[in-house]
Structure 1
Amino acid sequence: MLLQITHETHYAYAPAVETAQHLAHLKPLQTASQELLEHRLEIAPEPVQRSESVDVYGNARAFFALESTHEELSVVARSLVRTSAPVLAPAAARELPWEQVRERLCYRKGAAYDPAVEFVFPSRYVPRHEDFAAYAQGSFTPGRPLIEAAQDLNQRMFRDFIYDGDSTEISTPAVQALAHRRGVCQDFAHIMIGCLRTLGLPARYVSGYLLTQPAPGETRLVGADASHAWVSVYLPGAEGPGGWADFDPTNGRQPGEDYVALAVGRDFADVSPMRGVLHGGARHTLKVGVTVEPVEEKDALGENAALPFPQNLEHPTP
């Protein structure tokens, strides 16, 4: 599937901002099931400095600095991504009981280090809490394969929780959202990660996009989509490091080719789409619009077809 994503972020400041430095995670990942074909990052006003680097988790991040007074900031990320069905884990990994996975990642003198163990520990938005373990126990029964238990937890959360955009904020603790059984995709991802980590299992946060379908008879609305978040669960290999299986508790399914991954981390704090340090601008308003739409291959990549991106833009300086 060929998907075109436009992610627009607009800040209005009062009073004006004098100087600012920003960090953005808005460039989709390159993975076994996802190929990034085009990416542009449009910034206004024009920054005096911009660069791109890769963080410790393999995410592309853009840095830019503004040194002139400005009352508004506009950042538009345009990406063209080809997706395919996720690669399934080997049968042996899918049959591993969850307790065996936990034991394999416990520290032992002389044992080989597995980088996935970092995702067992608490993080800023995902602390250890007995309430997570209590909820997870309904799915993680003795001897159950990890992939099966994770799928059951994913489905239970979809049934038990209510999506409510007014019920939480970024600062709402995940354990509180668990108690109220409501929240948004970010909350649900943090809760599922908390359940897994409290049992000693590695889990990571994935930010990205999901292709939504307009209602019958209606056209796709530009800017009406939103960023999405889901969870990756670690499956060790027969020997040495293994892979990750994705789960989306908001929709009760495993992500497929209609998903686009932006970044992975311990929780939202690692992969926030935009954050910055400002001098001035005591108050601000924020507007975000996301459009995800399928594109015909011949229209986007045909020999004589125009690319769906402005051609007078430059790539960020590496």
Structure 2
Amino acid sequence: MIYSIRLTIAHKYDQPAANSRHLIRVLPRIVRGRQSLTTHLLEIFPEPDSRSEAVDFFGNKTTSCTHRDYHAEMSIRLSCHVDMMSPQPWQDLTPDVAQLRVEYGRLTDLGPESPLHFLGPTKRLSPDQSMAQFAQDVFDPKDSTAANVIRIGRALHDAMTFDATATTVDTDASDAFRQKRGVCQDFTHIMIIALQALGIPAGYVSGYLRTLPPEGGVKLEGVDAMHAWVRAWCGPDQGWIEYDPTNATLVGTDHIVAGYGRDYSDVSPVRGHLRSSGGQKNTQGVDVAIVG
């Protein structure tokens, strides 16, 4: 199955900006056995004075650019095709959480896929007693790790309301959980903190979600912008599984990975700095469709 993805991110400044430097993470990853990036075009307007591509610690594709002269706006446009492979039949090969802790307690590898990086805290993830209690109330110590990941994700989906007006990109996860409202970033941060409170390594996934629902289905939440969901390490036999708490579902071919990290800061689509005065207005639009 081949997906076409089109993304536009636009920044308009109240006053012209100069000496800007941005780090962009919007290209889909190559994930062995799951997805491959077949073609892509990433355009930046105005044309930057310098531009370079790299791969960060977690294996995400990055583009860095600089603009020296004053400019009133800056936009990023991505067009690409991603070949999604059929998923393997679901099997739960995971131990219970007590055994999972023993498994990662034996690990010494600190490579980018090591679960030891995903036990918190981070800049955006802090232990929270209310989230820990929420996880504990749902947790079944006799069940498998994967079953508990799914159970907590579904419970969070039932407890929270998707509300694009309730939070901003800088809202703390504890504030979103307190009001029980937010967007996919909030759902994801809260679920990561809840899983880590139980000793389950969990991280943040940034990516894209198919815009159109399957025939007879319903439109999923979070499809007008880049999406976010959770990955949890479930032992050496199972490895990482991914769960979308915003839509209460295990991740399948409708979810296209752009970046893996510990929290939003590791995979934010655009981050940087510039010299200007006044504020700015940022907009984002995403279209994902099947083309073959």
User: 1:233 and 1:86, CA in 2 relative to 1: closer, same or farther beyond 3 A?
Assistant: farther
Report the TM-score, using the length of structure 2 for normalisation. Answer: 0.91
1:136-183 Cα offsets, whole Å, 9 max, x none, are 113322221000111111111122211011111122211221222211
Aligned residues: 283
What is the root-mean-square deviation in Å for CA atoms of aligned residues?
Answer: 2.1
Match of 1:76 in 2: 77
Rounded Cα–Cα distance in structure 2 between residues aligned with 1:149 and 1:214: 27
Change (3 A) 1:215 1:119: closer
Instruction: For residues 75-111 of structure 1, give each alpha carbon's deviation from its aligned partner in whole angstroms, at most 9, with x where no partner exists.
Output: 10111101124446765x33x00121123223x6xx6
Equivalent residue for 1:259?
A: 255
1:4 maps to 4
TM-score (norm 1): 0.84
2:24–2:64 CA contact under 8 A, matched in 1: yes
1:139 to 1:86, Cα distance in 2 relative to 1, 3 A: farther
Give the corresponding residue for 1:146: 145
Q: Distance in 1 between matches of 2:108 and 2:264?
A: 29
1:132 aligns with 2:128: no
1:285 and 2:286 equivalent? Answer: no
What is the CA–CA distance in structure 1 between the aligned matches of 2:214 and 2:108, rounded to whole Å? Answer: 51
Kindly indicate whether the alpha-carbon contact (under 8 Å) linking 1:230 and 1:248 is maintained by their aligned counterparts in 2. Answer: yes
Query: Does the CA contact (< 8 Å) of 2:260 and 2:267 recur in 1?
Result: yes
Distance 1:88 1:175, change over 3 A: farther
Where structure 2 has 5 or more consecutive residues not aligned to the other structure, the ranges are none
CA contact (8 A) 1:193 1:203 kept: yes
CA distance in 1, matches of 2:177, 2:13: 35
Q: Which runs of 4+ in 1 moved over 6 A?
A: none
Q: 1:100 to 1:215 in 2, by over 3 A?
A: closer
Read off the aligned partner of 2:225 and give its amino acid letter.
A
**Which residue number corresponds to residue 51 of structure 2?**
50
**1:212 alignment counterpart:** 211
| SS of match in other structure, 2:186 | helix
Aligned AA (2:41):
R
Structure 1 segments unaligned to the other structure (5+ residues): 297-318
Q: Is the CA contact 2:26–2:258 (under 8 Å) kept in the aligned structure 1?
A: yes
| Per-residue deviation, 1:295 | 0.6
Aligned-pair identity in percent equals: 33
- Is the contact made by 2:18 and 2:70 (CA closer than 8 Å) also made in structure 1? yes
Contact 2:212 2:289 in 1 (8 A): no
Give per-residue Cα distances to partners, 1:213-269, cap 9 Å, x unaligned.
2699xxx9xxx721110000102215xxx6210000000001111111100101001
Superposition deviation, residue 34 in structure 1:
0.7
Partner of 2:249, secondary structure, is: coil
Contact 1:211–1:258, Cα closer than 8 Å, also in 2: yes
